[in-house]
């Protein structure tokens, strides 16, 4: 039976034109990818790439080292094609690269498993429909073009290796052209996204070592490959070194960036015991892998369709890997490729970016597809399984992808809102992670960058005609910087908005909290009048005007929509209260709070202005407390400021020993504050 099945595959490949399947894959992925290109720039790096198209400068992080010179060079060609529209240029580049990747995955399958075309077909089809592939192919990022160059170079290497095992006579010019092409595209791949080059280096090293062990000499072909590789590297290295100011300066920029990544992203920079760090990163890796593969997160609860999807994916993957033909070296080579990429990401890279896992999926899918090509099932059943799982992947991927072409990234939403509501001549913008978005989308505004904050310069700007201070990424700003931006409390919140998009579409910048400050004298007390029911719903979209210092963004906390306090030990509320009239002039106001503590043994001390009202011990579950506000504190024509003082703050990262990645200092969570007036 095995023999007859192989004969069927041979018959199929002999009589089917070679271009049919690649052409089908190109058309299919083109129909999927081209209509859904992102309408905005989704990442800090995407904005840096756009700036680099105009002015390449590593000192300004346009882009960050190593500079991605081949990607930028090709991006400029697409920029010319799209008549200067940078977003269209880079998203089109990614979409076309994603289409080519499906063909290259199929081609790798044919090289590694020539007797079974189904290997390449299944790997290419499922790969094209994975959320991480489809989503990243719509974004203005270097990941998909970088993967395309790596897959192309790998295909050239493996095709040459197969030719060495079953040599057939080729014209000399054709042989030399192929060899130069191997080196040339390998060298160019290093200039697109060099951090993804580990599989390429391992493959070249493996082929060289096995040939040398067999022949005990270096073949003349290697010299030609070396010439091609040198040409490929020099084609981008020379212009980059000229732009940077020399090879030494370029190397220093790369080394400095690598040290930063090692401290910020790598295992060694976590500052935890090795076992705890490995456990923490392992959990984060598993969650990111699940987002990349199925668009799901480990956090429960899962819906029945999500459970069914995960179960079917696990069964299909497990059976495919078990039957992948482990007696053949190709399966082991794919396993080494997969293990090398996994180790690189797990140990050295940040684990909140599913796109960094892209190089992991081609070997995984090829292994799974090799197994399904070997499972002895009738063609109709196997076709049903492949088609069914493809539809499952499309069901989970398509709704996420559709958001890219319909919903701008949160930084783009935020900048559009600010441009529509606040004039640049009287507005100062401060930003952290959204800095690039503000720089590109709001070029007329004065901008302060958190990580290069100049206190004297900001204070000088605020001394001018600044009526509004707009703070992007509010949760990332420490108290000392906020003290400067608020002019020691003279500027108070005017409004606050959080711009969001489904986190699975792009895990970074999935929400941007924007707070607008303005001089306190410009906010009339009437603007802070309580709602009709007397309650401030903490976590509601309208609560921002009441909240001053010490609050994090709205979020779901223990089944309730609220906010954490704790950015500082004291959080403040500003509210317009009405003094009692006539018979109620001496009546107390009762303040009702629903809250919970984060650290154990937490206490809340409530002040109205400078007057101490009460000190209360808090529980670590939701509770309601009542505090009396004396009538002499309230004046009808002024704003009452309440100070919520907490005894201590701790981060989940500290409490869990690194199991949680949340490093925010938390004191207590608040659901609502109600004022019962006479």
Q: Decide: 265 and 253 in contact? Cβ < 8 Å.
A: no
147 confidence band (pLDDT: 50, 70, 90): very high
Q: What is the pLDDT of residues 541-582, one digit of tens each?
A: 888 889 888 899 899 998 899 999 998 899 999 999 887 655
Determine how β-strand 427-431 pairs with β-strand 446-449: parallel
Q: Is pLDDT at 583 greater than 80 in this prediction?
A: no
pLDDT of residue 3: 38
pLDDT mean over 643-659: 89
Q: Residue 659: what pLDDT?
A: 76
Q: What is the pLDDT of residue 280?
A: 86
* pLDDT number for residue 506: 95
Length of the chain: 678
Whether 654 has a pLDDT exceeding 90, the answer reads no
Better pLDDT: 470 or 4: 470
Sign of CA dihedral 199, 201, 202, 207: positive
Sign of CA dihedral 45, 46, 51, 53: positive
Distance between CA atoms of 22 and 27, rounded to whole angstroms? 9
Full DSSP string of 593-656: EEEEESSTT-EEEEEETTEEEEEEE--SS-EEEEEEE-GGG--TTS-EEEEEEES--B-HHHHT
**Rounded CA gap, 433 and 412, in Å?**
12
Q: How confident is the model at residue 6 (pLDDT cuts 50, 70, 90)?
A: very low
The rounded distance, in Å, linking the Cα atoms of 600 and 621 is 10
Integer Cα distance of 254 and 462 in angstroms: 37
What is residue 272's predicted lDDT score, i.e. its pLDDT? 78
Helical (H) or strand (E) element with 67: none
- What's the CA gap between 312 and 297, in Å, rounded? 16
Those residues with Cβ within 8 angstroms of residue 601's Cβ, 6 or more apart along the chain or in another chain: 617, 647, 648
Asked whether the predicted pLDDT for residue 620 surpasses 90, the reply is yes
For the cut 60, the answer to whether the pLDDT of residue 2 exceeds it is: no
- The arithmetic mean of pLDDT across residues 521-541, rounded, is 89
Residue-wise pLDDT for 150-197, tens only, equals: 999 999 999 998 876 666 677 787 889 999 999 999 999 999 999 899
Q: pLDDT band at 610, cuts 50/70/90?
A: confident
445: Cβ contacts below 8 Å, ≥ 6 apart: 418, 424, 427, 428, 429, 438
Residue 176 main-chain phi, psi, to 5 deg: -65, -40
pLDDT at 242: 94
pLDDT the model gives residue 585: 59
pLDDT of residue 123: 96
Highest mean pLDDT among 117-131, 516-530, 532-546: 117-131
Predicted pLDDT at 166: 66
pLDDT, tens only, 454-493: 999 999 999 988 999 999 999 899 889 999 999 988 898 8
Is the distance from CB of 157 to CB of 203 less than 8 angstroms?
yes
The helix/strand count (H/E) of the chain reads as 22, 15
Evaluate whether the domain defined by 524-678 bears CATH number 3.40.50.720.
Answer: no
Averaged over 516-538, what is the pLDDT?
Answer: 90
Q: What is the pLDDT of residues 395-416, one digit of tens each?
A: 999 999 999 999 999 999 999 9
Q: Which whole number is the average pLDDT over 43-55? A: 95
| Tens-digit pLDDT profile for residues 275-300 | 888 888 898 899 999 999 999 988 87
pLDDT tens-digit readout, 240-273? 999 999 999 999 999 998 888 888 888 888 777 8
Kindly report the average pLDDT of the chain as a whole number. Answer: 90
pTM: 0.88
Tally the C-alpha atoms within 13 A of residue 49's C-alpha that lie toward its C-beta. 33
Report, as an integer, the average pLDDT of 421-434. 96
Domain ranges of the chain: 2-404, 407-523, 524-678
DSSP 174-229: HHHHHHHHHHHHHHHHHTT-GGG-HHHHHHHHHHHHHHHHHHSS--HHHHHHHHHH
Which residues are paired to 676 by β-bridges? 590
Could you give the percent of the chain with pLDDT greater than 70? 96
Q: How far apart are CA 567 and CA 551, in angstroms?
A: 6
pLDDT(433) > 50: yes
Say which residue the tokens 């007057």 belong to: 611
Q: What percent of the chain has pLDDT over 90?
A: 70
Supply the pLDDT for residue 234. Answer: 96
Residue 270 to residue 229: CA distance in whole angstroms: 37
Distance CA 353, CA 366 (A): 23
């Amino acid at each position: 039976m095995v023999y007859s099945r192989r004969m069927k595959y041979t018959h199929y490949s002999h009589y089917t034109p070679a271009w049919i399947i690649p052409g089908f894959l190109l058309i299919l992925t083109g129909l999927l990818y081209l209509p859904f290109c992102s309408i905005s720039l989704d990442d800090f790096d995407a904005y840096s790439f756009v700036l680099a198209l105009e002015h390449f400068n590593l000192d300004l992080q346009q882009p960050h080292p190593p500079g991605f010179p081949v990607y930028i060079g090709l991006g400029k060609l697409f920029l010319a094609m799209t008549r200067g529209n940078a977003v269209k240029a880079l998203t089109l580049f990614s979409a076309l690269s994603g289409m080519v990747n499906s063909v290259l995955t199929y081609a790798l399958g044919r090289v590694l498993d020539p007797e079974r075309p189904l290997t390449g077909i299944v790997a290419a089809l499922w790969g094209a429909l994975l959320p991480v592939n489809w989503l990243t192919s719509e974004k203005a990022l270097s990941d998909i073009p970088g993967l395309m160059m790596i897959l192309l170079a790998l295909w050239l290497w493996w095709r040459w290796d197969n030719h060495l095992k079953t040599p057939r006579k080729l014209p000399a010019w054709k042989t030399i052209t192929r060899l130069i092409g191997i080196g040339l595209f390998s060298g160019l791949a290093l200039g697109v996204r060099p951090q993804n080059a580990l599989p390429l280096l391992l493959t070249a090293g493996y082929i060289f070592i096995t040939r040398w062990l067999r022949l005990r000499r270096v073949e003349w072909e290697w010299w030609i490959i070396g010439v091609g590789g040198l040409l490929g590297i020099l084609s981008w290295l020379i212009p980059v070194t000229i732009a940077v100011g020399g090879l030494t300066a370029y190397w220093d920029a790369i080394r400095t960036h690598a040290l930063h990544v090692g401290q910020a992203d790598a295992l060694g920079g976590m500052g935890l015991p090795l076992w705890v760090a490995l456990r923490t990163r392992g959990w984060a890796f598993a969650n990111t892998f699940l987002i990349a593969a199925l668009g799901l997160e480990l956090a429960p609860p899962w819906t029945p369709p999500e459970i069914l999807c995960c179960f079917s994916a696990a069964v299909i993957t497990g059976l495919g890997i078990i039957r992948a033909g482990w007696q053949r070296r190709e399966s082991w080579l794919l396993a080494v490729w997969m293990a090398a990429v996994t180790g690189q990401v797990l140990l050295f890279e940040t684990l909140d970016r599913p796109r960094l896992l892209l190089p992991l999926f081609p070997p995984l899918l090829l292994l799974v597809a090799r197994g399904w090509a070997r499972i002895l099932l009738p063609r109709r059943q196997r076709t049903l399984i492949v088609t069914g799982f493809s539809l499952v992947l499309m069901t989970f991927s398509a709704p996420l992808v559709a958001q890219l072409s319909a919903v701008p990234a949160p930084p783009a939403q935020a900048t559009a809102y600010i441009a529509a509501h606040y004039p640049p001549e009287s507005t100062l913008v401060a930003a952290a992670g959204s800095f690039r978005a503000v720089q590109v989308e709001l070029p007329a505004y004065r901008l302060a960058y958190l990580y290069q904050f100049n206190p004297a310069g900001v204070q000088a700007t605020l001394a001018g005609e600044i009526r509004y201070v707009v703070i992007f990424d509010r949760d990332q700003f420490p108290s000392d910087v906020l003290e400067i931006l608020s002019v020691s409390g003279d500027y108070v919140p005017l409004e606050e908005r959080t711009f969001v998009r489904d986190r699975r579409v792009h895990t970074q910048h999935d929400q941007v909290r924007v707070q607008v400050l303005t001089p306190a004298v410009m906010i009339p007390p009437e603007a802070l009048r309580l709602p009709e029911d007397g309650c401030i719903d903490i976590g509601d979209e309208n609560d921002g005007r009441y909240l001053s210092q010490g609050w994090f963004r709205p979020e779901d906390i223990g089944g309730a929509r609220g906010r954490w306090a704790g950015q500082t030990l004291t959080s403040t509320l500003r509210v317009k209260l009405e003094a009692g009239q006539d018979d109620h002039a001496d009546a107390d106001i009762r303040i009702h709070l629903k809250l919970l503590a984060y650290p154990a043994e937490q206490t809340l001390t409530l002040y109205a202005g400078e007057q101490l009202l009460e000190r209360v011990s808090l529980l670590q579950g939701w509770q309601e407390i009542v505090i009396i506000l004396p009538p002499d504190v309230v004046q009808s024509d002024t704003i009452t400021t309440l100070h919520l003082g907490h005894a201590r703050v701790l981060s989940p990262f500290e409490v869990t020993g690194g199991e949680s990645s949340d490093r925010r200092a938390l004191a207590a969570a608040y659901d609502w504050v109600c004022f019962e007036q006479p």
